[in-house]
């Protein structure tokens, strides 16, 4: 995955129902549009599109912040414990974020090997629209726009995380206890995700939030796996004396970044191999960060929002795309198949997942959230 392949995740920033776009595409939100609903599941008033939009992006930004923190922590451990050069350890982090181009343009190519510079860029830089602090700020702004939809518990911890990141205490912990800093961000974002499911009505608002979470998670897993697979292929071309140890360290770092070490070990006893990790992260529907699980969960959630039998409601194209992607992803591991042996290889699969999840998000925005129309 390269930085200029058109799939950088930092292509849009939505705060409080307003769109800030960089590059092609985008538009404004038609305010006040009433989204259709399933009367068996929702209150008769339905949901205003601008509220649904903020719910969707709130979920995406919380998940993105959590993913950034876990990835930075796993990469930090890999850089310390693994036998990799600084560039091999930190360069993939920029590629996953879609920030290789912007980072090298500002800091130069040599800075890619500077772990401190990479972390500052992906954690604190206000000019990086996928940085941790920007993601948390965007989550808080969207939460503020839907304050009456969220539970008090969710709002309290979103606000706490946002305010804490702007304190001297957070900066001091980042400087002196880097692992603890990332762990604290993960704990608060995971608490928020848990509170969403345990303190809110399971209605249309939560469906849009969780749809955003699952789409973002599927996208992040595909990106992480693709970059690690690419790095592994480069290492195979230039084998070193400790090749086996390095390979194991890289794949364990990927599993650690997705909290997948224990689930993987329970289902794959023995030596950790790239093929086994790839199969697990693509096809194991029992693991909640696998591509199979995330795509299927997002599809199921969308079917609540736009039931298949209600053909007169908007969202038909999004539903069809979801169904097609879900069927294809489930087929990759069906009947014991190995997704790494599929036509085009693992890279082609992961590229398709990243592209299609991005396309589905844009289609949902156009069909249900009012993107591309004149503001009302």
| DSSP state letters, 174-233 | HHH-HHHHHHHHHHHHHHHHHHHHHHS-SSHHHHHHHHHHHHHHHHHHHHHHHHHHHHHH
pLDDT of 163: 98
What is the rounded distance in angstroms from the CA atom of residue 305 to the CA atom of residue 204?
7
Report the range of poorest mean pLDDT among 34-38, 95-99, 142-146.
Answer: 34-38
Q: Single out the residue of 32, 18, 10 nearest to residue 145, CA to CA.
A: 18
pLDDT in tens, 316-327: 999 999 999 999
Element (H, E) at 13: strand 12-15
CB 36 within 8 Å of CB 47:
no
- pLDDT category at 12 given cuts 50, 70, 90 is low
Distances in Å between the alpha carbon of 119 and those of 175, 179, 190? 11, 12, 21
Least confident window among 125-139, 195-209, 281-295, 328-342: 328-342
Q: What percent of the chain stands above pLDDT 90?
A: 61
**What was the pLDDT predicted at 243?**
59
pLDDT digits (tens, 9 = 90+) for 59-117: 999 999 999 999 999 889 888 876 678 888 899 899 889 999 999 999 999 999 999 99
Q: Where are the domains of the chain?
A: 33-367
The rounded distance, in Å, linking the Cα atoms of 49 and 123 is 31
Across all residues in the chain, what is the average pLDDT? 85
Whether 149 shows a pLDDT value over 90: the answer reads yes
- Predicted local distance difference test score (pLDDT) of residue 15: 58
Concatenated DSSP letters of 107-165 = H-GGGGG-HHHHHHHHHT-TT-TTSHHHHHHHHHHHHHHTTTTS-HHHHHHHHHHHHHH
């Amino acid at each position: 995955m390269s930085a200029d392949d058109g799939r950088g995740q930092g292509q849009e920033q939505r705060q409080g129902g307003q769109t800030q776009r960089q590059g092609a595409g985008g538009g404004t939100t038609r305010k006040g549009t009433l989204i259709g609903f399933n009367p068996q599941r929702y209150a008769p008033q339905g949901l205003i599109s601008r509220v649904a939009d903020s719910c969707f992006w709130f979920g995406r930004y919380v998940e993105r912040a959590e993913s950034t923190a876990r990835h930075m922590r796993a990469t930090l451990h890999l850089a310390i414990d693994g036998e990799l050069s600084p560039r091999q350890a930190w360069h993939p982090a920029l590629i996953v974020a879609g920030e290789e181009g912007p980072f090298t343009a500002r800091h130069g190519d040599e800075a890619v090997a500077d772990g401190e510079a990479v972390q500052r860029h992906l954690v604190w830089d206000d000019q990086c629209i996928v940085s941790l602090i920007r993601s948390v700020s965007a989550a808080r702004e969207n939460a503020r726009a839907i304050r009456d939809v969220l539970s008090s518990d969710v709002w309290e911890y979103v606000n706490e995380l946002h305010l804490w990141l702007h304190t001297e205490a957070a900066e001091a912990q980042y400087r002196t206890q880097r692992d603890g800093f990332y762990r604290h961000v993960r704990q608060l974002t995971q608490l928020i995700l848990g509170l969403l499911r345990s303190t809110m009505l399971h209605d249309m608002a939560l469906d849009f939030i969780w749809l955003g979470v699952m789409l973002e998670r599927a996208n992040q897993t595909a990106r992480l796996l693709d970059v690690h697979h690419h790095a592994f292929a480069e290492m195979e071309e230039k084998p070193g004396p400790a090749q086996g140890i390095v390979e194991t360290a890289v794949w364990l770092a990927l599993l650690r970044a997705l909290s997948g070490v224990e689930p993987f070990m329970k289902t794959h006893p023995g030596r950790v191999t790239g093929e086994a990790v790839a199969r697990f992260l693509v096809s194991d529907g029992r693991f909640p960060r696998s591509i199979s699980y995330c795509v299927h969960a997002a599809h199921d959630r969308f079917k609540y929002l736009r039931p298949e039998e209600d053909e007169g409601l908007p969202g038909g194209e999004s539903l069809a795309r979801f169904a097609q992607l879900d069927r294809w992803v489930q087929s990759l591991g069906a009947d014991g198949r190995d997704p790494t042996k599929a036509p085009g290889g693992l890279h082609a699969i992961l590229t398709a997942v990243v592209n299609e999840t991005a396309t589905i998000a844009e289609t949902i925005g156009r069909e249900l959230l009012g993107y591309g129309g004149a503001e009302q």
